[in-house]
Structure 1
Amino acid sequence: MKILYTGSNGLLGQKISAATAGFKEHAFLATSRGKNRTINLGTAEYKAMDIKDVEEVLAVIEDFQPDVIIHGAAMTHVDQCEQNKELAYQLNVLGTKNMAEASRRVGAHLVYISTDFIFDGTAGPYDEHGKPNPLSYY
């Protein structure tokens, strides 16, 4: 199985790299903006990919042809999202749209990992049917 994951330089991506380091029966492609900063990629290859750039996303995904895409890349700092709403929108909304479109094109199963910050915290635990009520732009 071929698995591509986004946000490999972030906390979640580094944990995915570490957790999959011994999985030799699968091919992994770790992606993130800029150069690789993950200490242990295990058996994964690394490819720089900016999820805001739809052409770059399509090129990387069409080249690798993953069976599964784990999308964890995002602008995650709440204060930065408040200060730069346009960039937050480009990364968190349009970047996710780009990943969904590319997944559809190659027939890959998309696993989207996000946050519970879409809820106000008044009525947990939440599930996929919970009513969103975000308290910030993030």
Structure 2
Amino acid sequence: MMVTNKVLITGSNGFLGQKLIDLLSKNLNYEVFAISMNKNDNPNVENYHFQQLDLMNSDLLNNYLSEVKPNYIIHTAAITSVEGCEADKVLCEKMNVGVAKQLADYCKQTNGFLVQLSTDFVFDGQNGPYKEDDSTNPLSEYGKSKLRSEQVIHNSGCEYAILRTILVYGINANPNRSNLVLWAKEKLSKNEAIKVVKDQWRMPTFVDDLAEACLLSIEKRATGVFHISGEEMFTIAEAVYQIADFWNFDKSLISEITAASIGQSENRPQKTGFILSKAKSILGFQPTPFKASLEIIDKQYGFFR
């Protein structure tokens, strides 16, 4: 009989959460459990167990963990809106830090393994691209909360992998989940004009690559912080021009704006990007080139729609 390991995915209705369910539910080595605050809206309803649960209700979460007893937890749930975290710092702290601490404490007590998703927003954008051990200096409450979550996980003494990532894009079966590529594709396909930032530099991350990195982390039980992203540095505008080129959209619909003009110069890093050598050597991570990822998305687009 095939040995199964229990993997719990938090935030299972989210963009990465759904991709992880698609990936892991097909893997016979894992029994997949998934929780989300809202009812299940993942069209893939086979081969995994779903529970609607408010992660911030610590008693309910404790009871659920005691019942399921997961060996691995991939914690994707978070409040990721920069503006949302500024508007409600108490909620941001409770969700982004408090829940991470509770999951880390559970893993410490049970010899479980925690994969925590983090962000390039732990950096200030003055010295990108960054290595894992470069100095952090978040500019926003969101970035600060994700850095605090990293710290409470480290201090818990549990076994963990923290995967920092950048501007995740791609497609899954949920039509309500948008991102830079789908947003630009949808707007330009309808000949709608769009404004894109010309003075923020990023290495966008293909969601399929990020899901694969999560799986590699638990398979190798690789501990520490890992940078996971694409390898090509673009401004947001440059990425959108590539999207337009790929699908032969009218590039004259694209106009460039500054981050300052939309209030994003003070609370978002100007230039991040990651040095991926650690993830490559330890995890065996290999990012998909941006154009190749667009080709994959184009095929998936027909499948999902």
Match of 2:66 in 1: 62
CA-to-aligned-CA distance 1:72-104 (integer Å, 9 cap, x gap) = 110011111111111111100111111111222
Match of 1:34 in 2: 38
* 1:70 Cα deviation after fit: 0.7
Is the radius of gyration larger for structure 1 or structure 2? 2
The 1-side partners of 2:127 and 2:19 are apart by 29
Match of 1:48 in 2: 52
The 1-side partners of 2:66 and 2:91 are apart by 25
* 1:38 Cα deviation after fit: 1.7
Please list every run of 5 or more consecutive structure 1 residues that lacks an aligned counterpart in the other structure: none
The 2-side partners of 1:41 and 1:16 are apart by 13
The 3 A distance-change label for structure 1 pair 127 and 42 is: farther
Secondary structure at the aligned position of 2:135 is classed as: coil
Match of 1:93 in 2: 97
> Is the helix fraction higher in 1 or 2?
2
Residue 83 (str. 1) matches residue 84 (str. 2): no
The 1-side partners of 2:129 and 2:86 are apart by 26
* 1:55 Cα deviation after fit: 1.4
* 1:2 Cα deviation after fit: 0.8
The 2-side partners of 1:13 and 1:41 are apart by 13
- Matched residue type, 2:87: Q
User: What TM-score do the two structures reach when normalised by structure 2?
Assistant: 0.43
* 1:8 Cα deviation after fit: 0.5
Match of 1:9 in 2: 13
Secondary structure at the aligned position of 1:81 is classed as: helix
Preserved CA contact (<8 Å) 1:70 1:112: yes
Preserved CA contact (<8 Å) 1:7 1:71: yes
The 2-side partners of 1:98 and 1:46 are apart by 20
Residue 105 (str. 1) matches residue 109 (str. 2): yes
Match of 1:134 in 2: 138
Identity of aligned residues (%): 37
Aligned residues: 138
CA-to-aligned-CA distance 1:84-126 (integer Å, 9 cap, x gap) = 1111111001111111112223221111111111111222232
- Matched residue type, 1:78: V
Preserved CA contact (<8 Å) 2:79 2:85: yes
Secondary structure at the aligned position of 1:61 is classed as: helix
- Matched residue type, 2:130: Y
The 1-side partners of 2:96 and 2:72 are apart by 20
The 3 A distance-change label for structure 1 pair 130 and 42 is: farther
Secondary structure at the aligned position of 2:118 is classed as: coil
The 3 A distance-change label for structure 1 pair 21 and 96 is: same
User: What TM-score do the two structures reach when normalised by structure 1?
Assistant: 0.91
- Bigger mean CA offset, 21-30 vs 120-129: 120-129
The 2-side partners of 1:64 and 1:9 are apart by 19
Preserved CA contact (<8 Å) 2:37 2:54: yes
